[in-house]
């Protein structure tokens, strides 16, 4: 009798576990689709393409021997959807489905739409500021290394 109860309990646990996994997969697909919607509302694809263009511009400057056509062809082959897909998992890991719904609602408001329109410029200017800060930091490090006799 004990072994029959044990087997029934095991079957029940496996069945319930399978249902939970199926529900998790379904809700995982749902949240992933909602994150795609959120990223579209946020203009993430455009932001990613703008960032990529900045990176390519610095490559162009640091590799003047590469023909302009190479960079143009390279940029044409970049798909913003690839970045979107790579961005989904961090949102799923760090935000709840309820959070995603709240953000979608926000980005559908006039303020959210205004923020989404402004984000490419904000991101661009922030990246430029970050590059300048990085250059200043590198100069400070090199100066200090020289002052302390490491160079």
Task: Give domain limits for the chain.
Answer: 2-147
Confidence of residue 39 (pLDDT cuts 50, 70, 90): very high
CA distance 103 to 143: 45
* Average pLDDT of the residues in 117-141: 92
Q: What pLDDT does 8 receive?
A: 46
pLDDT higher than 50, residue 30: yes
Long-range CB pairs of 75-83 (<8 Å, 24+ gap) are 78/49, 78/52, 80/45, 80/46, 80/48, 80/49, 81/45, 83/44, 83/45, 83/48
Percent of the chain topping pLDDT 70: 82
Q: What pLDDT does 27 receive?
A: 59
pLDDT higher than 60, residue 19: no
Confidence of residue 141 (pLDDT cuts 50, 70, 90): very high
Q: Supply the pTM of this predicted model.
A: 0.68
119 closest CA partner among 58, 45, 56, 54: 45
């Amino acid at each position: 009798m004990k072994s029959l109860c044990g087997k029934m309990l095991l079957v029940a646990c496996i069945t319930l576990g399978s249902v939970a996994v199926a529900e998790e997969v379904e809700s995982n697909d749902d949240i992933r689709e909602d994150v795609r919607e959120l990223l579209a509302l946020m203009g993430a694809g455009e932001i990613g393409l703008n960032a990529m263009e900045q990176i390519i511009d610095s490559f162009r400057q640091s590799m003047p021997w590469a023909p302009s056509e190479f960079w143009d062809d390279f940029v044409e082959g970049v798909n913003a959807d690839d970045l979107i897909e790579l961005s989904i998992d961090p949102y799923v890991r760090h935000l709840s489905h309820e959070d995603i719904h709240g953000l979608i609602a926000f980005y559908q408001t006039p303020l959210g739409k205004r923020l989404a329109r402004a984000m490419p410029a904000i991101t661009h200017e922030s990246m430029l500021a970050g590059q300048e800060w990085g250059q200043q930091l590198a100069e400070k490090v090199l100066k200090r290394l020289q002052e302390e006799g490491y160079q």
